[in-house]
Amino acid sequence: MPRQTAKPFALMLAVALACTGCAGAPPATQSSQADAEAAAAADTQAGAAPTSSAQPHVSYLGPEGTYTQEACSVFFGGEGAYLPHADVMASVQALVDGEVDYAVIPQENAIGGPIAEYLDEVIGREEVRVVGEVELPISQNLLAKPDATLDDIKVVYSHKQGIAQGKAWLEEHLPNAQVQEVSSTAEGARMAAEATDSSCAAIGSAAAADVYGLKVVADNIQQSDTNKTRFYVLALGQPDHEASDRMAFVASGDVGDLAELLTSVEAHGLEVVAVHDRPRKTVLGSYTYLIECAGGGYEAFDAVTQENATFDFRYLGSFPVR
């Protein structure tokens, strides 16, 4: 990776960061089938959107009924096979092992913020690239058994992001309920559905209520009506260099050089969309930053690297947002 140098734009930000066969057509011949498969493989390698001739296999944070599954459907248009995994790490591992074509992972929520361990999966796996993004409006709901009332509820299950997003509502309406973190909002719904009585509830989607036979006791309990979660669509292979809606890269270096790096990013016509920091686990003040931008692709990234020799860089790709 290139090593590069630069000077100040967002010193305050730097300091703060430190502390996705037509009917009637004749049957495919053996050679046409081979051609279709070759084209599908090329599309997968290039990160192209899936077509009807090649149904993508996509891993996601399960079980059925999570917002991540919904993000899969949004990005791939409902096409393909969506395969649930117990956690995000297992979902990404399925991609690395070649079991699926794509992995969709949540990475940031407007209320709960970035999800550090999920970002680590992107930062720490050099074979992984970003080929798409979904920005999904999130409506959190309190789900419980059909005969349950608010007074019955003593335990609430959810993913930590669901808990964070519903924290104010819980404090006001269920101040004495025991809140338990689980692996996903849908897992919480499953646990509430399998409870032996009506004292257990979950924070999750209305879709999860349908999947697990629950009812929505209270809807839209998140702290903000503008609540959204950003999801990355991951694949293997070489990152796409052509400019698209967004591009992302990783930069590892000292926090004292971050303002100069961000100034350089802006100078090359890029708009910073997000900056996430993770400790390099070497010395204090040294971080790996995942930086997402709009307004350019690899050419702008390459120019930034030439001016910032104090950082180690890795390009994650250019990609559409849906």
Show the domains of the chain with their CATH numbers: 11-16+54-137+229-317 (3.40.190.10), 141-223 (3.40.190.10)
Upper half-sphere CA count for residue 307 (Cβ side, 13 Å): 18
Beta bridge partners of 232: 105, 133
pTM recorded for the entire structure: 0.79
Task: Tell me the C-alpha distance between 249 and 253, whole Å.
Answer: 13
- Name the phi and psi angles at 38, rounded to 5: -65, -40
Closest CA to 208 of 84, 321, 38, 56: 84
CA distances from 126 to 120, 129, 237 (A): 11, 8, 10
Are 108 and 276 contacting, i.e. CB atoms less than 8 angstroms apart?
A: yes
Task: Tell me the C-alpha distance between 114 and 119, whole Å.
Answer: 8
- Name the phi and psi angles at 28, rounded to 5: -70, 135
- Any residues with CB less than 8 A from the CB of 133 and at least 6 apart, and which? 20, 230, 231, 232, 233, 245, 246, 319, 320, 321, 322
Per-residue pLDDT of the chain (322 residues; tens, 9 = 90+): 444 434 343 433 443 444 333 333 333 333 333 343 334 444 444 344 443 347 999 999 999 999 999 999 999 999 999 999 999 999 999 999 999 999 999 999 998 899 899 999 999 999 999 999 999 999 999 999 999 999 999 999 999 999 999 999 999 999 999 999 999 999 999 999 999 999 999 999 999 999 999 999 999 999 888 899 999 999 999 999 999 999 999 999 999 999 999 999 999 999 999 999 999 999 999 999 999 999 999 999 999 999 999 999 999 999 999 9
